[in-house]
Homo-oligomer: A and B are copies of this chain.
Amino acid sequence: MADDSLLDIGPTSVGPTADRLYAAIVDQIIDGGLRPGDALNEVALAERFGVSRTPVREAVQRLAMAGLAERGARRSFRVRRLPPAELGDLLEALCEIEAVCARLGAARMSEVERQELEACVREGAEAAAAGDGEAYARLNARFHQLVFDSARNDHLKEVAGQLRVRAAPYREAQFRQTDRLASSQAEHEGILAAVLAKDPDAAQAAMMLHVASSSLNIRRMLDPSAPKR
């Protein structure tokens, strides 16, 4: 990672360069390689990935449409920075939409899906007990993805995924706090219980509680004065 070789943008001969660039940059944003405010310099990215500016531009345009990039000085693009108020909006929107997914999912999930979710929560319990934040973060992402899928609505899943990616840079460090691991896990178990009981309204309420709690935690970490909205 410390050498100056070309970055991996996935299998060399799969799909248009712009598509792979977009995916690569999104990954960098999610895993913290690119942080909010970082410049998305066209020539730098082009050299970095060993391509011309044209596909880079297209990828960046798409990032902007996805709400992951914003215009900076000199018409440049940079990774979108969310002021506290906007982050609050985002987390609230996510809260509402994920809750809707949970409600629909509770009514529509197949038996297999229910078991998958149960297994995911069980593994989460182990990770939480072991205090393994990294493993828990992965299982948390998987848990929410399973809920999105269970809603059986591609458009809803798409917007939920978009909002979740936007929040990713701010959610990152959340599971360093081991106490958040435990409370998050408890909330997951509450959602699971509602899903297994096939109680849509309870699932919606539990999910809203979970995402709201997560949001509050994120905002606390970013601002010690802890606005409660």
Q: Which residues of B contact A97 (CB under 8 A)?
A: 96-97, 100, 159
A130 interface residue (CB < 8 Å to B): no
Decide: A153 near B62, CB < 8 A? Known: A100-B100, A159-B159, A162-B159. no
B58–A92 touching, CB < 8 Å: no
Q: Which residues of B contact A86 (CB under 8 A)?
A: 154-155
A158–B67 touching, CB < 8 Å: yes
Q: How many residues of A contact B (CB 8 A)?
A: 32
A94, B97: Cα distance in complex, Å: 11
Among B18, B64, B75, B90, the residue within 8 A (CB) of A155 is B90
B159–A93 touching, CB < 8 Å: yes
A66–B67 touching, CB < 8 Å: no
Q: Which residues of B contact A155 (CB under 8 A)?
A: 67, 86, 89-90, 92-94, 163, 166
This chain: how many copies in the complex? 2
A61 interface residue (CB < 8 Å to B): yes
A90, B153: Cα distance in complex, Å: 8
26 pairs from A and B in contact (CB 8 Å cutoff): A18-B61, A54-B54, A57-B58, A58-B58, A61-B61, A62-B64, A62-B65, A65-B65, A65-B66, A67-B155, A86-B154, A89-B152, A89-B154, A89-B155, A92-B153, A92-B156, A93-B155, A93-B156, A93-B159, A94-B155, A96-B97, A96-B104, A96-B156, A159-B159, A159-B162, A159-B163
* Besides A18-B61, A96-B156, 7 new A-B residue pairs in contact (Cβ under 8 A), listed by A number: A65-B66, A89-B153, A89-B155, A89-B156, A94-B155, A100-B100, A155-B166
Complex A-B, nearest 9 residue pairs according to Cβ-Cβ distance, in ascending order: A65-B65, A93-B156, A93-B155, A159-B159, A89-B153, A96-B100, A90-B155, A62-B65, A89-B155
Residue positions of A touching B, CB distance < 8 A: 16, 18, 54, 57-58, 61-62, 64-67, 75, 86, 89-90, 92-94, 96-97, 100, 104, 152-156, 158-159, 162-163, 166
